[in-house]
């Protein structure tokens, strides 16, 4: 299997980079959500009615009437309880009267708020109104109403205490008068007189005590507290808080955008990284190329993509089984989705093989293949369509790539997309090419669309699925694997190619070189010189049969049935020459379509 170092895999340390890449792909969702959230916060601020708040500070003092005398001055007031008193309906009714308002007391109470600063005897009474004047009047009214209620409550308690003491004094005074009468009526030095005098002393002491308690109560003044900072007229509204609304709207929008972007990213099955292929489909990743490329064509050997494909070439030379003697390797590269990714990778991988000095043939079965534009090979009369019609032999139809003579290309020509290609004839072409070339690369479309891709898959040495970054979906790769698994095709792995333009601009047609007649490859020896990289000569492979060595394929006579080549390679050919012959576009009968004369695809 290929070395795993060719595929760039994310480690745990690159998880953050993966999330940053996700945010980079979905940045427009986050920006739009933040803008909508900010606009929503601004809209809420515009819809909300402006409210004003004014605050009055009260110093709450202990009232002396609670326990009598000066002892009450040292008792601290429970301000939490007093805060609840301020927001009571009793205070609300008093404040309503002071404000001369028609608003119900319970609504006024809801507009009031009380704050208790820690470690103090101060209450801060705030009131929120529709206008600055209403806020100022409401805060002052609640503070004054609370002080009035507290003063009235303390005064009532004081009056009750004074009344109770006065009643006790009157009762003691009455008893004291009765005892004085008993003393006057009793004889001197009598027991009754002595008892009456003792009772008189007790009553006198009791009366003195009551008078001592009553005297400070009558002289004590009620001081429930005072306003130390009266309500001021607000200069700006306290609500709505535009800054808070805008910040809240932006935060809510960003949160919603992150959730939406995450959901969309999870639902998006497009392959963007190499690990997406292996994690979602289980297909081994052979190579992950950069996600973008500025050049679409046969890249120079110094290009980063060419170097990566050169490493893949080295791995394929050791991973793909060596064919039997006299045969070249057959590699099928199919698209994982619609596009030109397989053609781009096939052309540059074929160039990587050709740079080693080996003979390489590249052909495509896609009618809309961009191989002509990628390789710069002119689309002349010699093409795959002409070979399938038996108008020209396969070796004659091959065209060398400009600047890379060891690489020959068989362009598709005028193949029709709605007609299934004859697999038996394609196998015959591959058998002929594998007998003359060290490596034969075939570009095909998706197996779910191109039936010949699945049929050829079981006859090649290795199948490579080419996914296009940001365009191929994992479901398409899974469907491709299912198609190849049905025929037990040797799927080696996947290559993640850069995202290419939807339409590749054709290169300027070059003057096609005259096809060279195949010659016998010289046997290796000390005097044999290495082939030139710019050579356009197709050097034939040493054949087992001497009678066929170096023989150029003869052009068949259209009038006579074509005789199929002997099965010298690993490709099992089915049918006969006549059954695999497609009519030329110039032939009569069934029109200009490629209609099969006879036979079925037994490949």
497-536 residue pLDDT tens: 998 886 665 444 444 444 444 434 344 333 333 333 333 3
> Which CATH number fits the domain 274-499, given the four candidates 3.40.50.300, 3.30.70.890, 3.30.420.10, 3.40.50.970?
3.40.50.300
Confidence of residue 85 (pLDDT cuts 50, 70, 90): very high
Provide the token pair at 465: 């699925």
Helix boundaries (H) for 435-510: 451-457, 474-486
Do residues 267 and 51 make contact, with C-beta atoms less than 8 angstroms apart? no
Check residue 16 and give its pLDDT: 65
Check residue 570 and give its pLDDT: 40
Domain boundaries, the chain: 4-8+26-48+241-267, 52-229, 274-499
Do residues 501 and 371 make contact, with C-beta atoms less than 8 angstroms apart? no
Backbone angles phi, psi at 332, to 5 degrees: -105, 125
556-588 residue pLDDT tens: 333 333 333 333 344 443 333 333 444 434 344
Name the percent of the chain lying above pLDDT 90: 41
pTM for this structure? 0.57
Closest CA to 286 of 295, 277, 294: 277
Q: Say how far apart CA 66 and CA 69 lie, in whole Å.
A: 9
Provide the token pair at 480: 């491709």
Averaged pLDDT, 18-24: 70
Q: Which residue has the tokens 């594998």?
A: 434
The most confident of the ranges 138-142, 161-165, 551-555 is 138-142
Q: What is the mean pLDDT of the chain?
A: 79
For residues 220 and 578, the model is more confident at 220
Backbone angles phi, psi at 6, to 5 degrees: -70, -30
Length of the chain, please? 603
120-136 residue pLDDT tens: 899 999 999 999 999 99
- Partners of 382 in the beta sheet? none
Q: Which residues are CB-contacts of 574 (< 8 A; sequence separation ≥ 6)? A: 424, 427, 601, 602, 603
Do residues 240 and 45 make contact, with C-beta atoms less than 8 angstroms apart? yes
pLDDT at 147 over 80: yes
């Amino acid at each position: 299997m290929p070395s795993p170092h060719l595929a760039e895999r994310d480690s745990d340390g690159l998880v953050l980079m993966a999330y940053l890449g996700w945010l980079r792909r979905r940045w427009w969702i986050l920006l739009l959500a933040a803008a909508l959230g900010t606009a929503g916060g601004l809209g809420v601020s515009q819809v909300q009615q402006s409210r004003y708040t004014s605050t009055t500070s009260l110093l709450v003092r202990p009232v002396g009437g609670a326990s009598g005398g000066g002892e009450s001055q040292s008792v601290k007031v429970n301000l939490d309880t007093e805060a609840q008193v301020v927001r009571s309906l009793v205070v609300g009714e008093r404040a309503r009267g002071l404000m001369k308002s028609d608003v119900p007391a319970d609504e006024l109470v809801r507009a009031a708020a009380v704050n208790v600063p820690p470690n103090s005897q101060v209450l801060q009474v705030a009131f929120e109104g529709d206008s600055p004047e209403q806020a100022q009047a409401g805060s002052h009214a609640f503070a004054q109403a609370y002080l009035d209620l507290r003063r009235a409550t303390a005064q009532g308690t004081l009056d009750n205490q004074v009344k109770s003491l006065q009643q006790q004094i009157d009762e003691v005074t009455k008893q004291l008068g009765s005892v004085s009468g008993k003393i006057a009526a009793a004889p001197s030095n009598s027991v009754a007189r002595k008892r009456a005098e003792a009772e008189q002393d007790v009553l006198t002491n009791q009366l003195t005590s009551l008078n001592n308690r009553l005297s400070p109560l009558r002289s004590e003044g009620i001081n429930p507290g005072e306003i130390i900072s009266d309500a001021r007229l607000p200069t700006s509204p306290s609500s709505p808080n535009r800054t808070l609304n805008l910040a809240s709207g932006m935060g809510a929008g960003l949160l919603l955008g992150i959730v939406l972007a995450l959901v969309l990213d999870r639902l998006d099955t497009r392959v963007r990284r190499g690990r997406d292929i292996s994690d979602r489909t289980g297909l081994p990743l052979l190579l992950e190329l950069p996600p973008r490329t500025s050049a679409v064509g046969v890249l120079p050997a110094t290009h980063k993509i060419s170097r990566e494909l050169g490493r893949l070439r080295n791995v394929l030379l050791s991973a793909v089984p060596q064919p039997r003697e006299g045969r070249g390797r057959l590699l099928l590269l199919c698209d994982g989705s619609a596009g030109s990714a397989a053609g781009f990778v096939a052309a540059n991988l074929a160039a990587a093989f050709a740079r080693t000095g080996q003979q390489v043939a590249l052909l495509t079965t896609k009618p809309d293949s961009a191989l002509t534009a990628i390789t710069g090979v002119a689309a002349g009369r010699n093409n795959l369509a002409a070979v399938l019609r038996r108008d020209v032999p396969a070796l004659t139809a091959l065209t060398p790539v400009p600047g890379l003579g060891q690489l020959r290309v068989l362009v598709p020509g005028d193949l029709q997309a709605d007609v299934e290609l004859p697999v038996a004839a394609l196998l015959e072409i591959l058998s002929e090419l594998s007998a003359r070339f060290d490596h034969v690369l075939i570009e095909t479309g998706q197996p779910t669309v191109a039936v010949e891709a699945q049929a050829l898959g079981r006859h090649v040495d290795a199948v490579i699925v080419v996914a296009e970054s940001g365009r191929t979906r994992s479901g398409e790769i899974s469907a491709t694997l299912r198609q190849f698994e049905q025929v037990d095709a040797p799927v080696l792995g996947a290559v993640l190619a850069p995202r290419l333009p939807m339409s590749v601009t054709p290169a300027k047609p070059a003057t096609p070189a005259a096809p060279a007649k195949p010659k016998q490859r010289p046997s290796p020896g000390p005097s044999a010189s290495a082939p030139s990289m710019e050579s356009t000569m197709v050097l034939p492979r040493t054949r087992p049969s001497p009678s066929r060595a170096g023989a150029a394929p003869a052009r068949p006579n259209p009038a006579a049935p074509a005789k199929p080549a002997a099965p010298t390679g690993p490709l099992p050919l089915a049918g006969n020459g006549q059954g695999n012959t497609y009519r030329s576009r110039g032939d009569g009968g069934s029109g200009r379509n490629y209609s099969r004369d006879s036979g079925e695809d037994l490949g």
